[in-house]
Amino acid sequence: MARAHFSDNFAIARRTMVTEMLAARGIRDKRVLEVMGQVPRHVFVDEALWPEAYGEHALPIGFGQSISQPYIVAKMCELLELSGSEKVLEVGLGSGYHATVLSKLARSVFAIERIPELTERARRKLESLGINNVIARIGDGSAGWKSFAPFDRIVVSAAAAEIPSALPEQLADSGRMVLPVGVQEEQCIVLVERRGATILRKEIERVRFVPLVGERKRAGA
């Protein structure tokens, strides 16, 4: 009975998160709001952090990484404009939370994570939730996943100083990519759109993400 009550509390917390933190801040995509209200964010962090799981802040997941705050996940998903038929590349699998949300909004998700322990933990979590349309591998996400390109959508969950050159090349025509760009306090979510040979770029809003390590290493940082 206590466990059931605990689950009820999390369901209430998710509904509150959707109405008071997402919709209230301008998220309008009904599918995104519905999925964010369904996915149990608390199971992607340590049990000691469960009481904080539906607050408007990032949470640590180990190895110097974090799970993004709910609003940022929702905003990035909304910017992707997913209808359910897309093939998505996610750079930075992390806890697996964002991939789980994407899995319910798109046809398939190809996720790359550089930290083996996080990759395996996320795989187990996805399996336990019955998610079968996410394929994950260990690697440098800034290089993309050429063998499965082009992708209808690309989302990056770590910040590079500049857009990694390999990623726009793997974006399908009329595709959209959302990623944080910048260093330290000067990061901004950027929307990239491909129109034939033309790449359009639009800055959306200021953010703070962990660095995209693979790209920084190649840049000599």
pLDDT, tens digit (0-9, with 9 covering 90-100), for 76-110 = 999 999 999 999 999 999 999 999 999 999 999 99
In terms of residues, how long is the chain?
A: 221
In this predicted model, what pLDDT tens digit does every residue of 190-217 receive, in sequence order? 999 999 989 999 999 887 776 777 644 4
In this predicted model, what pLDDT tens digit does every residue of 130-168 receive, in sequence order? 999 999 999 999 999 999 999 999 999 888 889 999 999
What is the C-alpha to C-alpha distance for residues 142 and 85, in angstroms, rounded to an integer?
24
What is the C-alpha to C-alpha distance for residues 22 and 202, in angstroms, rounded to an integer?
22
Residue with the bigger pLDDT between 138 and 186: it is 138
Provide the β-strand partners of residue 154.
Answer: 89, 177
| Class of the CATH-defined domain 2-218 | alpha beta
Whether the CB-CB separation of 181 and 187 falls below 8 Å is answered with yes
pLDDT for position 7: 63
**Cα dihedral 74/59/157/182 (nearest 10):** 110
Residue 68 designated active-site:
yes
Whether the CB-CB separation of 23 and 71 falls below 8 Å is answered with no
At residue 150, the 3 state secondary structure works out as: coil
Q: Catalytic residue among 7, 66, 68, 142, which?
A: 68
